[in-house]
Amino acid sequence: MDETTPSNPEEYQYLNIIQKIISVGTWEEGRNGRTKSIFGEMMRFSLANGQIPILTTKRTAWKTCLRELLWFIRGETDNRLLQEQGVHIWDGNTSREFLDSRGLNHYREGLIGPGYGFQWRHFGGEYDAATGKGLTTGLDKSLAEGLTSRKSLGIDQLRQIIDALKDPAQRTSRRLIMTAWNPLQLDEMALPPCHMICQFNVHDGNKLSCSMTQRSCDELLGVPFNIASYSFLTHLIAHHCGLEAHEFVYFKGNCHLYEEHIEAATTQLQRTPFAFPTLEIRVRRENIEDYIVDDFVVNGYKSHEAIKAKMVA
């Protein structure tokens, strides 16, 4: 290690979990391969003063992460929209072979089903496999077609949270919860959500924090994206609602390394973290779904080189 490199104690939370898995984790044979795992961990990351925890012990493709997040925020489920932006993280889980293995033969290749963003924006709504959207794209259209039931529309959880955070009388509610885990529709999803539920909390009048609970944590490839994604989301919602981003708290269930990732993870452990960068959001748009990647500026991101590893679908 380079002893002159600035230390970053928050990133060591992640590295310590990697080390713990390698040292004391147990080998398990799972759905998609052999993993070494532990269960039940937690990390906290400050978002104060614009800080954003994009991991530095390997290069993190934060724009790819952000493009996926904005796709979630828009309620999209079609991987082709990500592929058009050069994002391929969903390719393995939306291939024809993978969809057929889930019994989703009626989905065209590229659809994830009513997961993540669909549940954020249309929780419990009826999913249209022909379009990859809800059966309704908005209340006006729904009313015009006579589809006024909650079952057809679903619940826009993200909109409810934003409306509450903009209202000083509601923003301290302990019910600002958004979940992607909908047991009634899990079998319609290409992949049941790994990051399942988050809660937003305001204290001291304007400091916004987010906690997120994740059932399955792919430590080498997935977790760095999850940390960055929910930190981006918290910064964005704070900015959009006139609040200050304060903290991201991460609760983790099954924390694992795939057998083929152990060597790469060991390499990452030899690196000393740099300081986290900061985030600037240039504009405040009218609607949360209107933000684009170019609205976000990450300043001072210094990292070690990327570590190549194959994603396990």
| Alpha carbon distances (Å) from 55 to 155, 213, 232, 236, 249 | 34, 19, 13, 19, 15
Q: At what angle do helices 9-24 and 262-269 cross, to 10 degrees?
A: 140
CA angle, 12 as apex, 8 and 13 as ends, to 5°? 125
* Residues recognised as catalytic: 194
Residue in the structure block whose two tokens are 């000083």 = 168
**Alpha carbon distance 75, 96 (integer Å):** 22
Q: What is the CA radius of gyration of the chain?
A: 20
Identify whether the C-beta of residue 201 lies closer than 8 Å to the C-beta of residue 209: yes
The candidate with the shortest Cα–Cα distance to 11, out of 269, 244, 266, is 269
The token duo for 63 is 């724009």
The candidate with the shortest Cα–Cα distance to 15, out of 47, 58, 77, is 58
Q: Spell out where 15-160 has E strands.
A: 26-30, 33-46, 127-128, 133-134
